[in-house]
Chain A
Amino acid sequence: EVQLVESGGGLVQPGGSLRLSCAASGSTVRSYWMHWVRQAPGKGLVWVSRINIDGRTTNYADSVKGRFTISRDNAKNTLFLQMNSLRAEDMAVYYCAIDLVSGSGSLQSWGQGTLVTVSS
């Protein structure tokens, strides 16, 4: 069974940047679409982005389009999320997840999340 571990979260000022990583172990993830989902403090889950198997197809929520970039390195079994121009409303726990059924959102395996705090 695959395990996912997110890293790269932390405190950043508004307008700053962070790069999140999601390292997979126990199994290869090269055959799966992958997603980022976030949860702001006290709020619900919100979908952020997805990427296909070879990294050539990516999609984003309107709230992050143009500011966030999802990518993957299948050789390193790792997913990334580059976050630029960060805003207070981006503050959340960010989860990575593996899609059981192409890019449909059937998110079978999740990491424990990494906290991004945006504050001056």
Chain B
Amino acid sequence: QSALTQPASVSGSPGQSITISCTGTSSDIGAYNYVSWFQHHPGKAPKLMIYEVSNRPSGISDRFSGSKSGNTASLTISGLQAEDEADYYCSSYTGSGTNTVVFGGGTKLTVL
């Protein structure tokens, strides 16, 4: 149950676009379309931004989009806004007999 790999930090200016990567293996991201992305402001409850690789829950801005290629998933945020500054985590279902969920280490997004 090794954690998925995310960059520790990314940054961008308001209005710009950024992409956060999330690398797993052929047993998790590469095997299932069950990749989720969460936004977490410290002290608050995490918030689901993307599920099943690219689906947005109701109420989530279309500035947030997700994709996957092979064992790597990506979250893109376009038109960066100050309130987007937060920690972002990816997760994936892992089958292969374990039937568990694994998170990435998290990425701190700074809006300059």
Q: For residue B72, give the distance in angstroms from its CB to the closest CB of chain A.
A: 17
**Chain A count of residues within 8 A CB distance of the other chain:** 26
User: In the complex where A44-B105, A59-B100, A61-B1 touch, is A105 in contact with B91 (Cβ < 8 A)?
Assistant: yes
- Produce 1/0 per residue, A78-120, CB < 8 A to B: 0000000000000000010100110111111011110000000
Q: Which B residues between 5 and 23 are near A, CB-CB below 8 angstroms?
A: none
Q: For residue A35, which residue of chain B has the nearest CB? A: B101
Q: Are B46 and A106 in contact, CB atoms less than 8 angstroms apart?
A: no
The 8 residue pairs across chains A and B that have the minimum distance between CB atoms: A106-B51, A105-B101, A44-B106, A104-B34, A110-B45, A47-B101, A104-B93, A59-B99
Q: Which residues of B pack against A, CB within 8 Å?
A: 1, 3, 32, 34, 36, 38, 40, 44-48, 51-52, 57, 87, 89, 91-93, 98-106
Q: Are A111 and B51 in contact, CB atoms less than 8 angstroms apart?
A: no
A46 contact set on B, CB distance < 8 A? 3, 103
Q: For residue A4, give the distance in angstroms from its CB to the closest CB of chain B.
A: 8
B1 contact set on A, CB distance < 8 A? 61-63
Query: Which residue of A44, A46, A95, A112 has the most chain B CB atoms within 10 A of its CB atom?
Result: A44
